[in-house]
Chains A and B, each alone.
Chain A
Amino acid sequence: SQTIHQWPATLVQPVGSPLSLECTVEGTSNPNLYWYRQAAGRGLQLLFYSVGIGQISSEVPQNLSASRPQDRQFILSSKKLLLSDSGFYLCAWQHGTGGADGYTFGSGTRLTVV
């Protein structure tokens, strides 16, 4: 069966520090991968998505970047965190068949920038 791992679960970082959040998927190959953020309120804001190794699409200009060094690994990074980067970060995977299919979300990372 497929599983998605996201870590860490919580993170408190000072302003200006770097960030690296990692997401890995097991039990599938060539998944579509997504990074979302939930700030204050409930909305799911799409940050980045990837349909293959090295292929990253950015949805919103951010102080963030993403990379996909391996088929089932997706990394969210920042060189210098801002207070506004605080939020709940979610990784998700989807079958990469090109057809319509649902996501499976990870358990999320609660990031607080202080």
Chain B
Amino acid sequence: GENVEQHPSTLSVQEGDSAVIKCTYSDSASNYFPWYKQELGKGPQLIIDIRSNVGEKKDQRIAVTLNKTAKHFSLHITETQPEDSAVYFCAASRGGKLIFGQGTELSVKP
């Protein structure tokens, strides 16, 4: 079955710097890759997703890149702000159930 590895487990950056979180997946048939942000005490929220027919997608300060050959995808956050501090999860799917990474705790220091 699918396996998703996420790195790093914790990430600390200064406000204004960029943050990058990386995920690798094992099932080459996976074709959908969402990213979730979970703030303390809340449910995860979808922040951006990408499908396998696209290599990159951007939404304001957030972007996701996908390398199907290498089976990895990354979340890029530019000009980080304190409110970006949260736990981020990547996931992969080829239909139906999502397989999640282990999560990355991002801390943005003012």
Residues of chain A touching chain B, judged by Cβ–Cβ distance below 8 Å, are 6, 32, 34, 42-44, 46, 49, 51, 90, 92, 94, 98-108, 110
Contacts and interface: CB of A to CB of B under 8 A. Distances in A.
B95 interface: yes
21 contacts: A32-B96, A42-B87, A43-B102, A43-B103, A44-B89, A44-B100, A44-B103, A49-B97, A51-B96, A90-B44, A94-B96, A98-B96, A100-B31, A102-B32, A102-B49, A103-B98, A104-B46, A106-B43, A107-B42, A107-B43, A108-B42
Nearest to B92: A100
Interface residues of B, number: 25
Interface of B: 31-32, 34, 36, 38, 41-46, 49, 51, 87, 89, 93-98, 100, 102-103, 105
